[in-house]
């Protein structure tokens, strides 16, 4: 997979994968690679560990993305050309919901009317768990604004993360007027006899299950939201079209752990079941960089100093362990290439294992440099 081409040419990259595989780190490195190539890039993450905020020096929450200071990057040895910018945002569900209301409400007064309902405040609390909607909405909003050359989305670290891929379709279905007309009070002249009957049944059932007061408030809430639904439905369809378009690419990220590898295959299948294309895999934290390193026995045979020869001989067990790890990593890499090729993807890339914890710009710089300059042994 020509991952360097993606960061140079694509508009949207969606990173999928299990938790603990370095997905947030790779997402940030992809965006940084684009910035180093002169593009204005944004990385969106809903990583609860907040590692990205620590690495890039941005606030853990905020209403808008934060630009990474060029001086901070230069201090880390990162040269960003003119036009290149890196922005990052820790997705805040409440902020996303507020932006939806502000954009789609017909007036400021209507937006305030929605915010004044008790159910809106309850919805804000619920939104904290609707990460898939948050991701889809934020992604499409920033793409519509056309502010960034590349947007990299780091999806939630769970199987449920893929719900966001289907969220636009489900949201559009829910926002259909025929569905909402059962709940939202309207003059009888605007509703068919079937809808009126269905509305009466639903209202009666909900009143018995809850209270008439709650049903009344729910209807008022949906009535206030009614002006937004048409625009939100169009928006939801737009998200789906964006994800299916040629400007969006999906990448599945995994590590060399067996469980993570199996999860990667699941993510690959699931994305394809949703009618979307997976560009390929990223095998993170591999030892493939050490593949061509000389064996201690080779060094010892060319060494004249007996003391050095003895030291090298003691390194033999460590070298054998590393050789086994390299062989295992290479086998996983070849499997990923095969899976991707058989399903119409573009293969896989391998990124190195970094000795230090990836929590600073220097480490992200190393990964972004590799992304931009992969050699053939690390990309297929």
User: In the prediction, which pLDDT does 359 show?
Assistant: 67
Distance (Å, whole) CA 281 – CA 262: 13
Judged by phi (left if over 0) then psi (alpha if -120 to 50, else beta), residue 224 lies in alpha
Distances (CA, A) of 67 to 28, 52, 56, 219, 308: 13, 13, 9, 42, 51
User: In the prediction, which pLDDT does 43 show?
Assistant: 94
Q: List 16's β-bridge partners, or say none.
A: 252
Q: β-strand 66-67 against 85-90: which pairing, if any? A: antiparallel
| SS3 state at 289 | helix
Distance (Å, whole) CA 50 – CA 19: 13
Distance (Å, whole) CA 114 – CA 105: 9
Identify the DSSP state of 162.
Answer: G
Phi, psi for 173 (deg, rounded to 5): -65, -40
Fold designation for 3-178+215-292+327-378: Rossmann fold (3.40.50)
Give the residue among 284, 330, 289 at the shortest CA–CA distance from 24.
284
Residue 155: partners with Cβ closer than 8 Å, 6 or more residues away: 14, 15, 16, 17, 23, 46, 135, 161, 162, 164
| SS3 state at 13 | strand
- Tokens 């890196």 sit at which residue? 86
Distance (Å, whole) CA 43 – CA 53: 11
Q: Cβ-count burial of 295 within 10 angstroms (0-12 exposed, 13-18 middle, 19+ buried)?
A: middle
Distance (Å, whole) CA 125 – CA 141: 21
- Tokens 């002249």 sit at which residue? 189
CB 330 within 8 A of CB 288: yes
Q: Can you list the positions of beta strands (E) in 224-287?
A: 248-254, 278-286
Angle subtended at Cα 100 by Cα 16 and Cα 191, rounded to the nearest 5 degrees? 110
Q: List 280's β-bridge partners, or say none.
A: 251
**pTM of the model as a whole:** 0.79
Long-range Cβ contacts of 117-120 (<8 Å, 24+ apart): 117/217, 117/220, 117/221, 117/224, 118/217, 119/217, 119/218, 119/221, 120/221
Distance (Å, whole) CA 28 – CA 41: 10
Give residue limits of the domains in the chain: 3-178+215-292+327-378
User: In the prediction, which pLDDT does 195 show?
Assistant: 45
Q: How do the pLDDT tens digits run along the chain, 380 residues long?
A: 889 999 999 999 999 998 889 898 899 999 999 999 999 999 998 765 566 677 677 776 667 899 998 988 998 889 999 999 999 988 777 777 787 788 777 788 888 877 887 667 666 655 555 666 677 778 888 998 999 999 999 987 666 666 666 655 555 555 455 555 545 555 544 555 544 554 555 456 555 555 677 666 666 666 666 666 666 667 777 888 898 899 999 999 999 999 999 999 999 998 888 888 899 999 999 999 888 888 888 878 887 787 887 888 888 888 899 999 999 999 999 999 999 999 999 999 999 998 655 667 888 899 999 999 754 445 55
Angle subtended at Cα 373 by Cα 369 and Cα 375, rounded to the nearest 5 degrees? 135
């Amino acid at each position: 997979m020509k991952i360097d081409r993606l960061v140079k040419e694509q508009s949207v990259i969606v990173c999928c994968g299990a938790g603990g595989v370095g997905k947030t780190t790779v997402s940030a490195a992809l965006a940084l690679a684009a910035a180093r190539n002169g593009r204005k890039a944004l990385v969106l993450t809903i990583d609860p560990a907040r590692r990205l905020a620590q690495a890039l020096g941005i606030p853990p929450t905020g209403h808008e993305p934060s630009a990474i200071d060029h001086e901070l990057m230069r201090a880390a040895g990162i040269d960003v050309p003119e036009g290149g910018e890196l922005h990052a945002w820790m997705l805040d569900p409440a902020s996303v919901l507020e932006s939806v209301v502000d954009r789609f409400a017909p007036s400021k007064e209507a937006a305030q009317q929605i915010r004044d309902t008790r159910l809106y405040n309850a919805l804000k609390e619920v939104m904290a768990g609707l990460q898939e909607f948050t991701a889809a909405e934020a992604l499409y909003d920033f793409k519509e604004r056309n502010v960034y050359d590349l947007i990299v989305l780091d999806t939630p670290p769970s199987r449920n993360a893929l719900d966001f891929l289907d969220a636009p379709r489900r949201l559009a279905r829910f926002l259909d007027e025929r569905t909402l007309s059962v709940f939202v009070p309207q003059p009888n002249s605007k509703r068919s006899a079937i809808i009126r009957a269905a509305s009466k049944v639903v209202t009666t059932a909900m009143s018995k299950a809850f209270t008439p007061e709650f049903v009344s408030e729910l209807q008022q809430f949906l009535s206030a939201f009614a002006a937004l639904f048409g625009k939100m439905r169009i928006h939801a369809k737009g998200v789906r079209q964006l994800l299916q378009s040629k400007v969006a690419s999906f990448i599945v990220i995994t590590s060399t752990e067996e469980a993570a590898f199996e999860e990667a295959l699941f993510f690959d299948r699931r994305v394809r079941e949703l009618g979307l294309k997976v560009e390929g895999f990223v095998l993170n934290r591999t030892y493939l960089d050490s593949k061509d390193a000389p064996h201690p026995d080779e060094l010892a045979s060319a060494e004249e100093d007996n003391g050095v020869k003895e030291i090298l001989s003691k390194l033999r067990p460590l070298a054998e362990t590393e050789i086994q790890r390299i062989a295992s990593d290479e086998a996983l890499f070849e499997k990923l290439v095969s899976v991707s090729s058989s399903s119409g993807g573009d293969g896989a890339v391998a990124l190195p294992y970094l000795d230090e914890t990836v929590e600073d710009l220097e480490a992200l710089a190393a990964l972004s440099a590799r992304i931009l300059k992969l050699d053939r042994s690390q990309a297929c």
